DNA sequence: ATTTGTGCAAAACGTTTGCAAGGCG
DNA sequence: CGCCTTGCAAACGTTTTGCACAAAT
């Protein structure tokens, strides 16, 4: 945790960027979260206590993403989800369309396949996002009793 | 092509929905396209000649997606991409962040892995989306000469 | 005749931006 | 001190919506 903050400070300095109060607060929060979150969620968590503006949230998430501290995912809700990748290996997501719960699963096998395909197409891979949509165990049970969802 | 239209008519009737002029025009266009497209692109292709409104485009795409005639992808540009899946097997996408070109590649191996993981987690798979972001061959070359893009 | 679909314009949504003021190095 | 960053509010682009009218079965 502290380690992440040190790395962040170094990365910022390396690029001539500043280690401001807002960036500290935002990074602190992100590094302490385990779930996926949206910019708006982060904003509502920080605005009152820590006086961080919406624009700063968005701008800081961009910075953190470009430096590789967070990963960005598009689960097709018209909004972006972020996650801290500190100490995580890349993984795939099961997204339950019933309750929006996100289950992660490892992806080393898939990663190898992607890299093989990329080489074949001379494509330079930057990042990838594997999203599987469906129903988690609980929601699948509910659907049986009272259907009517997408 | 004709075959798709017949299937669409049947599916609509099955659900008590109507086979309107607008839906015919939109479906015709979609079934004849091979590339991925956005709602706005489709709108500008059809509005003048065929007098289809923007709202109808969006609503019809929803209907076609819910019936499985088109697949929806969110590549994270704040807009959705659609593709007709007539006669296609599911596949993955390489998305070039330089020129937004989309390269498809087959995914049978990946599909098997996903199904295996889903079984393990008791997750009911509905659809999945594998998106690899990076640079296509041409854009990678350009970047070497004149960098400055994300 | 009934029910679903359409067009329009306005609203909603998440995100980005311009600019003046503030703060870090 | 200079440059980077912030906050605000307005702008943005895409998508959704309410409602009155139109059209399909």
- pLDDT tens for each residue of A131-148: 999 999 998 887 766 554
Q: Which residue of A has its CA nearest to B72?
A: A76
> Rounded to whole angstroms, how far apart are CA atoms B34 and B84?
7
pTM over 0.85: yes
| pLDDT tens sequence across A105-116 | 888 899 999 999
**Does the C-beta of A55 come within 7 A of strand C?**
yes
Question: Which nucleotide's C1' sits nearest to the alpha carbon of B17?
Answer: C4
Q: List residues of B whose CB lies inside 8 A of any A CB.
A: 66, 72-76, 78, 80, 92, 94, 96-97, 103, 105, 109-110, 113-114, 117-118, 120-137, 140, 150
Which of chain B's residues have a Cβ under 8 Å away from the Cβ of A61? none
Q: How many CA atoms lie within 13 A of B55 on its CB side?
A: 0
* Whole-number CA gyration radius for chain A: 18
The tokens describing A5, both together, are: 């903050």
Q: Which CATH class is domain B1-88?
A: mainly alpha
Measured distance CA(A75)–CA(B129) in Å, rounded: 9
Please check whether residue A105 is in contact with residue A113, taking contact to mean a CB–CB distance below 8 angstroms: no
Residue A43: exposed, middle, or buried by beta-carbon count in 10 A (0-12, 13-18, 19+)?
Answer: middle
CA A53: distance to chain centroid? 20
Provide the shortest C-alpha distance from residue B80 to chain A (in Å): 8
- Give the burial class of A72: count Cβ atoms within 10 A of its Cβ; 0-12 exposed, 13-18 middle, 19 or more buried: middle
In 3-state terms chain B splits into helix, strand, coil percentages (rounded to 5) of 50, 25, 30
- Chain A residues in contact with B140 (beta carbon < 8 A): 122, 124
B chain contacts of residue A114, beta-carbon cutoff 8 Å: 92, 130, 132
Question: How is chain A split into domains, by residue range?
Answer: 1-88, 90-150
For domain B90-150, give the fold: Dna Ligase; domain 1 (3.30.1490)
pLDDT tens, residue by residue, A70-115: 999 999 888 999 999 887 777 899 999 888 889 998 888 999 999 9
């Amino acid at each position: 945790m502290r380690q992440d903050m040190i790395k962040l400070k170094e990365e910022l300095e390396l690029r001539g960027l500043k280690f401001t109060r807002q960036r500290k607060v935002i990074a602190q929060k992100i590094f302490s979260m385990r779930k996926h979150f949206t910019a708006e969620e982060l904003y509502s968590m920080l605005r009152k206590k820590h006086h961080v503006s919406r624009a700063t949230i968005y701008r800081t998430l961009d910075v953190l993403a470009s430096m590789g501290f967070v990963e960005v995912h598009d689960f097709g809700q018209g909004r972006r989800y972020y996650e801290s990748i500190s100490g995580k290996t890349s993984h795939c997501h099961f997204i339950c369309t019933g309750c929006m719960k996100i289950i992660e699963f490892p992806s080393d096998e898939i990663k190898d396949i992607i890299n093989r395909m990329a080489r074949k197409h001379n494509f330079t891979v930057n990042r990838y996002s594997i999203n599987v949509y469906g129903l988690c165990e609980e929601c699948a049970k509910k659907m049986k009793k009272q259907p009517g969802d997408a």
